[in-house]
Amino acid sequence: MKPKQIARCLVDFGMTALLLGLMAYSVTGQAVHEWMGVAAFLLFVVHHGLNGDWIRSLRKGRYTPARVLQTVLALLLLVSMLVQMISGIAMSRHALPFLDVPLPASTARLLHLACGYWSFLLVSLHLGFHWGIFLGLGRKLRDGHPLSPAGRIVARTLAGAAAAWGVVCFVQQNIVDYLFLRTEFVFFDYEKPPLMALAELTAMMALWTLVGYLLQRLAVRQVRQGGRTE
């Protein structure tokens, strides 16, 4: 792998880990949550710097269904994360209390609540759209050899099980209410073991990562089928 590719992987891994930590507010508490947010912002800037070529190419080339979905998803994620960061700074009491953002605390709290969960969902979808990169890395580690039939069955079974548990967690925790602000407060279970809280968040991320991967595969397949029928 080239140094830039290694840097991208490390930054993306760091952002994903921080996102899980940020969503686990009941585990981290307010002060750690804020400093993790600062770290996520810094990696967010580095991520866009490392992907400058993709940004500059937005006005070039043909937009296939897969590219349209990827671009729309990236733009929605950008907006959601920016709003999340600005609202977080407005409420900061530990990391950045000296930054005076002219935003009422009640408004900032609602924006932070909704965008926090939207960013979590969109990052997971975004990760799924790029899952082929990680599959390619896996093939390189196996010297280009594909997984055995048994290995594919195990991998797909684990992915399906994780996604199924993610559905259960998504419904049980009423995530839709937070996404659409049907409630103005998040209900955390502070008695839940930290590892269980992180495991449930990971399962929900696995769910939407799988959805993103399947959407990307479907869009690519439609283009290929369209090309064969022309």
Dist. CA 108–CA 18, nearest whole Å: 21
Tell me whether residue 145 is in a domain.
yes
What is the structure's pLDDT at 229? 47
Tokens of 112: 């932070």
Tell me whether residue 208 is in a domain.
yes
What is the structure's pLDDT at 18? 95
Average pLDDT for runs of 10 along the chain of length 230: 82 93 93 96 92 87 88 94 95 92 93 96 94 80 82 92 97 96 89 94 96 91 63
Tell me whether residue 28 is in a domain.
no
Tell me whether residue 57 is in a domain.
no
Residue 66: CB atoms within 10 A of its CB come to: 18
Residue written as token pair 């199924």 = 164
Tell me the whole-structure pTM to 2 decimals.
0.90
Tokens of 40: 């996520």
Number of domains in the chain: 1
What is the structure's pLDDT at 148? 85
Dist. CA 155–CA 166, nearest whole Å: 16
Residue 97 burial (10 A CB sphere; 0-12, 13-18, 19+): exposed
Contact 50, 4 (CB under 8 A): yes
Dist. CA 230–CA 225, nearest whole Å: 9
Which residues are CB-contacts of 107 (< 8 A; sequence separation ≥ 6)?
A: 87
Tell me whether residue 14 is in a domain.
no
Tell me whether residue 44 is in a domain.
no
Tell me whether residue 39 is in a domain.
no
Domain around 135 = 64-229
Helix (H) or strand (E) holding 39: helix 30-50
Residue written as token pair 């991208």 = 8
- Cα three-residue angle 174-163-110, rounded to 5 degrees: 30
Tell me whether residue 50 is in a domain.
no
Cα dihedral across residues 40, 45, 50, 55: positive or negative = positive
